[in-house]
């Protein structure tokens, strides 16, 4: 993407190390009050950085917003960078994931505005229908707590497994009550799930990684999350205390504008759904 900064692995590691060295002394009231300069936003490449780039190139100048976009390919560094002030905001995650991340890492990230939903889907290079999965088939699932639970809920919603009563946002294969096809699960980093499609019978893939792998969730998924009452909408987030930063409020307004809604609908054709 033109003019969009891409971070190297070394920089990602440095950001994570910085958090590790400072987390013990982190203070949720220590968010920067300096609102001068550009707003730097950490984002997953697709669709988040693409949406932000559209805002930057078409809407930000008129709104008086100097916006910079930094791409991250993992689900950890955007939050650690937001916590330590390396970036002013991030746009890549949903509420269950953020709740789990804050709890485990002692961070103080809060949502500002929900922008879109990327439906989670089950994909395969070997079968064309979910009910064609054979006994003992292997399914790749994301290995982070929230997305693994989300994957299992998707399979349960489509009758492939049954989860135990009370299995929530931290469900694992150990919480499966019934598994009539004796499905096996291969736990992988979320970004690796689409790359595993030639090695497994099927894979549950997050919407952004599906799009990056040239999969079309609305067309290619064997089963897809329903958007109605879905708790996994993706939002703009900041460190607690920065919610009223005027740059953030400007961006929040732009991200939920009619122009952005049309951009999402036209570009992603149902694979990404506006949440406003």
Residues 160 and 130 sit within 8 Å (Cβ to Cβ): yes
- Angle at the Cα of 132 from the Cα atoms of 190 and 232, rounded to 5 degrees: 35
Min mean pLDDT across 145-149, 216-220, 227-231 is at: 227-231
pLDDT of 109 over the 80 cut: yes
pLDDT of 164 over the 90 cut: yes
Quickly state the pLDDT bin for 257 (edges 50, 70, 90): very high
pLDDT of residue 48: 97
Q: What is the pTM of this model?
A: 0.73
129-149 pLDDT per residue, tens: 999 999 999 999 999 998 999
147: enclosing H helix or E strand: helix 145-157
Residues 113 and 252 sit within 8 Å (Cβ to Cβ): yes
pLDDT of 12 over the 80 cut: no
Calculate the CA 97 to chain-centre distance: 8
DSSP string, 5-23: EE--HHHHHHHHHHHHHHG
């Amino acid at each position: 993407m033109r003019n969009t900064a891409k971070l190297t692995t070394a920089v990602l590691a440095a950001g994570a190390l910085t958090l590790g060295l400072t987390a013990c002394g982190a203070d949720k009231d220590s968010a920067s009050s300096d609102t001068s300069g550009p707003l730097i936003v950490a984002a997953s490449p697709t669709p988040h950085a693409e949406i932000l780039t559209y805002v930057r190139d078409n809407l930000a100048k008129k709104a008086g917003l100097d916006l910079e976009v930094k791409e991250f390919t993992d689900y950890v560094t955007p939050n650690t960078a937001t916590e330590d002030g390396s970036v002013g905001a991030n746009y890549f995650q949903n509420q269950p994931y953020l709740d789990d991340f804050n709890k485990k890492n002692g961070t103080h990230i809060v949502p500002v505005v929900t922008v879109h939903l990327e439906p989670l889907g089950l994909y395969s290079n070997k079968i064309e229908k979910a009910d064609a999965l054979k006994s003992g088939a292997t399914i790749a699932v994301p290995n982070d707590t929230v997305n693994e639970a989300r994957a299992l809920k998707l399979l349960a919603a489509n009758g492939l497994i049954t989860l135990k009563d009370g299995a929530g946002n931290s469900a694992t294969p150990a919480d499966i009550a019934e598994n009539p096809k004796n499905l096996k699960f291969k736990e992988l980093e979320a970004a690796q799930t689409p790359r595993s499609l030639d090695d497994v019978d099927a894979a549950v893939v997050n919407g952004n990684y599906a799009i990056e792998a040239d999969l079309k969730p609305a067309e290619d998924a064997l089963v897809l999350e329903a958007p109605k009452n879905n708790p996994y909408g993706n939002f703009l987030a900041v460190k607690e205390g920065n919610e009223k930063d005027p740059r953030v409020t400007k961006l929040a307004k732009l991200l939920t504008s009619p122009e952005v809604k049309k951009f999402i609908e036209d570009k992603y054709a149902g694979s990404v759904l506006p949440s406003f």
